[in-house]
């Protein structure tokens, strides 16, 4: 009976997914396993605790190996930060590669921009899907360690969008400019690392804050704004296509929600940088 049920399930999958889509989901699964193993090894070898033990903040240093709420929170967040840093650097590089490959995108038809089953784009999308799934699993298991609920919403939205794209081969060009948004993520990660290591008053923290603000504003506000407007101009083509309801309404709605999350975070980042710069000026005056 088990063998029969397995055969039936396999048959349903074969009918539902074509060979390219099955390959993409296998790649996404491999990516998920890679990131889960990465953070598991990082945690089991206590590399997260070792990094935290180097902090100049005595409280963080004291709790580095402790099984206290603060110790666990910092280690879990460090694990999440490590995989996020790796994924964001990789995703940014792949996004620029796609931008180069499709550098003549202005000459593409609307149909190609929306529905081109470009193997390279969806291969890269598969890799990112695995990361989003891995980080979301970590966030859901250790929910109390992630104070920013917006990040969980962000991961749910873009995991759904990536998986949907893999299945329906849609939003090909849109994936490229969305991936470019990852260019700001390494600076977000470094900001937390510098903060938890007690280096908030250093020049490195200020410089990182500057690049975080610039990249976040450029990619997640300006590029995202133009990207959404460009998608709006193509929307009649999307509505007239044979793509499913989710492609026409849910994914575009999710992209708008992601845009407003970026605007919310952008205001917080700018306020933080202004506060940091004011604090630096006051310190110089006191000297």
Q: Which residue has the tokens 């977000």?
A: 188
Structure tokens, 119: 């193997």
Quick: pLDDT tens for 70-117.
Answer: 999 999 999 999 999 999 999 999 999 999 999 999 999 999 999 999
End-to-end Cα, the chain, rounded Å: 79
Quick: pLDDT tens for 1-47.
Answer: 444 544 444 454 455 577 888 899 999 999 999 999 999 999 999 99
Q: What band does 281 get if pLDDT is binned at 50, 70 and 90?
A: low
pLDDT score recorded for residue 282 = 54
Q: What integer is the mean pLDDT of 230-238?
A: 96
Residue 252 near residue 235, CB atoms below 8 Å: yes
Give the helix, strand, coil percentages of the chain, each rounded to 5.
85, 0, 15
**Closest to 173 in 3D by CA, of 227, 96, 233, 209:** 227
Which DSSP string corresponds to 243-287? --HIIIIIHHHHHHHHHHHHHHHHHHHHHHHHHHHHHHHHHHHH-
pLDDT score recorded for residue 6 = 43
Q: Which residue has the tokens 């101009």?
A: 233
Residue 169 phi, psi dihedral angles, 5° rounding:
50, 60
Please state, as a whole number, how many other Cβ atoms lie within 10 Å of the Cβ of residue 94: 20
């Amino acid at each position: 009976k088990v063998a029969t049920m397995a055969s039936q399930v396999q048959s349903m999958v074969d009918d539902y997914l074509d060979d390219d889509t099955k390959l993409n989901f296998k790649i996404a699964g491999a990516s998920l396993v890679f990131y889960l193993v990465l953070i598991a090894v990082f945690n089991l070898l206590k590399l997260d605790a070792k990094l935290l033990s180097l902090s100049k903040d005595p409280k963080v240093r004291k709790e580095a190996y402790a099984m206290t709420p603060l110790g666990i929170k910092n280690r879990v967040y460090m694990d999440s930060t490590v995989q996020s840093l790796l994924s964001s650097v990789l995703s940014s590089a792949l996004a620029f590669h796609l931008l180069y490959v499709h550098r003549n995108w202005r000459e593409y038809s609307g149909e190609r921009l929306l529905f081109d089953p470009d193997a390279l784009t969806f291969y890269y999308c598969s890799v990112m899907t695995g990361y989003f799934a891995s980080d979301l699993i970590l966030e859901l298991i250790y929910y109390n360690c992630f104070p920013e609920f917006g990040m969980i919403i962000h991961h749910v939205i873009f995991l759904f969008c990536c998986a949907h794209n893999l299945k329906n081969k849609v939003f090909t060009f849109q994936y490229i400019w969305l991936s470019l948004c990852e260019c700001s993520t390494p600076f977000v990660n470094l900001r937390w690392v510098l903060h938890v290591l007690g280096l908030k008053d250093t020049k490195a923290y200020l410089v990182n804050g500057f690049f975080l603000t610039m990249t976040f504003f450029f990619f997640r506000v300006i590029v995202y704004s133009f990207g959404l407007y460009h998608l709006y101009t193509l929307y009649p083509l999307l509505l007239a296509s044979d793509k499913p309801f989710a492609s026409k309404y849910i994914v575009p709605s999710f992209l708008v929600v992601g845009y407003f999350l970026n605007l919310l975070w952008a205001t917080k980042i700018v306020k933080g940088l202004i506060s940091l710069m004011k604090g630096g000026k006051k310190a110089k005056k006191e000297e």
